[in-house]
Amino acid sequence: MENLTMNNVYALLQKIDYRLKTIEQDIHELKEEPELRPEYVEKAKRIMKQKPNTYWDR
């Protein structure tokens, strides 16, 4: 098992922050759309099917 260091925690927080920013951008774009575009629906389905660990590790 890997020892958890402050650098590891910081790196994970940076990944989470990046993912949150991309999700916020997607939400902002969705709010501007009068109807959901098919690519957003497909993207949401793919994300929901993935395990949380594999999603954050990208």
Q: Per residue in 22-45, pLDDT tens?
A: 998 888 887 776 676 777 778 877
Q: Is residue 51 part of a domain?
A: yes
More confident residue, 6 or 36: 6
Alpha-carbon distances of 38 from 10, 25, 26, 32, rounded to whole Å:
35, 17, 13, 15
Question: What is the domain extent for residue 54?
Answer: 34-58
Q: Is residue 7 part of a domain?
A: no
Q: Is residue 49 part of a domain?
A: yes
Q: Do 40 and 30 form a contact (C-beta atoms < 8 A)? A: yes
Q: How confident is the model at residue 20 (pLDDT cuts 50, 70, 90)?
A: very high
Measuring CA to CA, which residue among 8, 2, 12 is closest to residue 58? 12
More confident residue, 33 or 49: 49
Q: Is residue 53 part of a domain?
A: yes
Domain total for the chain? 1
Q: Is residue 6 part of a domain?
A: no
Q: Is residue 26 part of a domain?
A: no
Q: Is the dihedral of CA 11, 16, 19, 25 positive or negative?
A: negative
Q: How confident is the model at residue 13 (pLDDT cuts 50, 70, 90)?
A: very high
